């Protein structure tokens, strides 16, 4: 079972002993403090997925999503589900939807693990309808 959380505004996916950064960070990240080697230049990359290398204990707060996908398939699915192509960032609206957080809600506790297996199992054409509705400008 893979765990998926947030790191500096991007998505951090943990699958076995593999770690992936999905999307661009939205703020500076202290990689070493989070437990990773700095990944190098993220701006202008062609892929929205970057492998991360652990260099210490993982120190990333939750909440976390639990998905049954693993490895590259997990990372690519997360990119397709959450990354906004025009700017490479992760949609906070979509993330909050998957966590089940209302606009006035703080969401689950920081140590929560939310079952999101359905996200990896949902057909992409159905998710696209949801995605368009959520990302539509109000």
Averaged over successive runs of 10 residues, the pLDDT of the chain (138 residues) comes to 95 96 93 93 72 94 94 95 90 91 75 92 93 82
**For position 137, what pLDDT does the model report?**
67
The per-residue pLDDT for 42 is 64
Query: What DSSP letter does each residue of 24-89 carry, written as one string?
Result: --SS---HHHHTB------TT-S-SEEEE-B-S-------EEEES--HHHHHHHHHHHHB-TTT-P
Domain count, the chain: 1
pLDDT of residue 110: 80
DSSP assignment letter at 101: -
pTM of the model: 0.90
pLDDT of residue 40: 79
Q: Which domain holds residue 23?
A: 2-135
Q: What is the pLDDT of residue 47?
A: 72
């Amino acid at each position: 079972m893979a765990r998926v959380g947030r790191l500096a505004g991007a998505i951090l996916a943990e699958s076995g002993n593999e770690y992936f950064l999905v999307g661009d960070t939205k703020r500076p990240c202290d990689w070493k403090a989070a437990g990773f080697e700095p990944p190098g230049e993220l701006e202008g990359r062609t892929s929205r997925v970057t492998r991360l290398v652990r260099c210490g204990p993982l120190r990333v707060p939750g909440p976390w999503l639990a998905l049954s996908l693993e490895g590259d398939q997990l990372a690519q699915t997360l990119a397709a589900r959450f990354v906004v192509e025009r700017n490479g960032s992760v949609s906070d609206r979509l993330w909050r939807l998957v966590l089940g957080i209302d606009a006035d809600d703080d969401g689950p506790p920081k140590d929560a693990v939310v079952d999101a297996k359905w996200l990896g199992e949902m057909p992409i054409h159905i998710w696209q309808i949801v995605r368009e509705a959520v990302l539509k400008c109000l």
